[in-house]
Amino acid sequence: MRVALFIPCYVDQFYPNVGLATVSLLEALGVEAEFPVAQTCCGQPMANSGCMDEARPLATHFVNTFDGYDYVVSPSGSCVSMVRNHYDHLVDGDDPIAAAVRSRTLELSEFLLNVLKVGSIPGRFPFQVGLHQSCHGLRELRLGPCSEVMAPRDSMMQRLLSGLGDIRFSQLARRDECCGFGGTFAIAEEAVSAMMGQDRINDHVQAGTEVLTAGDMSCLMHLDGIIRRQKLPVRVMHFAEILVEAMAM
């Protein structure tokens, strides 16, 4: 099985430890992931801003870079959703190579649970953890339950974390509310974005969250900025970082 690792721009530039944790986690589970050095941005920032002409060559480059792999794995629900759900107008819809690359691009928890069939991951994490379900991962990749959908659905992130010893989960008042980041929305509507982020932090603080986690560092970057400015006693970690730290305990 040939597995390629796709690292989003903000992970590469701001949170390289998340990429390293992803590699460590995959290797601990017996997967030797390759890192194609030609990879660049998936084009999501441009597409979010309506700059389709600028996004199109990036989408084509993504397809060409990751052609030939059985799976492309990324620790980012939003970037994976961009490839799977929003490349329709950026690449040739009749191109079998593009279709194959898109369908084989998976978010990390999807790959661990649906492909590797990972059960319980050994380790301890004696903290109360608050889960943030990012909008793209939740509503476009279906990685967790949505309050507006009555059909039952597990949170893949919680399934992976729940096997850790001594872990506790915060009971939030609004478990699937947006953090307010929304990519370019945080720039265009700064005040609204900050207020939405504050609402999410207040919910976690009231629930007793000690470690706030998600599958998207873009959301966590936004929330962590609020946490640091207010000097709140909450640590922010990608779920891959939690799993790697727990396995070392």
- On whether both 136 and 243 belong to a single domain, the answer is yes
Q: How far does Cα 59 stand from its chain's mean position?
A: 19
- On whether both 134 and 111 belong to a single domain, the answer is no
- On whether both 59 and 136 belong to a single domain, the answer is no
Query: Percentage of the chain surpassing pLDDT 70?
Result: 99
Tell me what pLDDT residue 48 has: 86
Mean pLDDT of 196-204: 96
- On whether both 106 and 136 belong to a single domain, the answer is no
Domain assignment present for 163: yes
Token pair 């991962």 is found at 137
- On whether both 139 and 230 belong to a single domain, the answer is yes
- On whether both 210 and 138 belong to a single domain, the answer is yes
d(Cα 126, Cα 246) in Å, to the nearest integer? 9
Domain assignment present for 24: yes
- On whether both 107 and 149 belong to a single domain, the answer is no
Q: How do beta strands 105-107 and 71-74 pair?
A: parallel
- On whether both 175 and 111 belong to a single domain, the answer is no
d(Cα 238, Cα 76) in Å, to the nearest integer? 10
- On whether both 146 and 211 belong to a single domain, the answer is yes
Q: Is residue 76 very low, low, confident or very high in pLDDT (cuts 50, 70, 90)? A: very high
Domain assignment present for 21: yes
Domain assignment present for 60: yes
Mean pLDDT of 70-87: 97
- On whether both 61 and 158 belong to a single domain, the answer is no
d(Cα 77, Cα 136) in Å, to the nearest integer? 6
Q: Is residue 146 very low, low, confident or very high in pLDDT (cuts 50, 70, 90)? A: confident
- On whether both 41 and 138 belong to a single domain, the answer is no
| Type of residue numbered 58 | L
Domain assignment present for 121: no
HSE on the CB side for 231, CA within 13 Å? 0
Tell me what pLDDT residue 120 has: 87
The answer, yes or no, to whether residue 195 has pLDDT greater than 90, is yes
**For residue 188, what are the domain limits?**
128-248
Q: Is residue 147 very low, low, confident or very high in pLDDT (cuts 50, 70, 90)? A: confident
The answer, yes or no, to whether residue 152 has pLDDT greater than 80, is no
d(Cα 31, Cα 156) in Å, to the nearest integer? 19
- On whether both 7 and 102 belong to a single domain, the answer is yes
Number of domains in the chain: 2
pLDDT digits (tens, 9 = 90+) for 31-53: 999 999 999 999 999 998 899 99
> At which of 86, 115, 144 does a domain end?
115
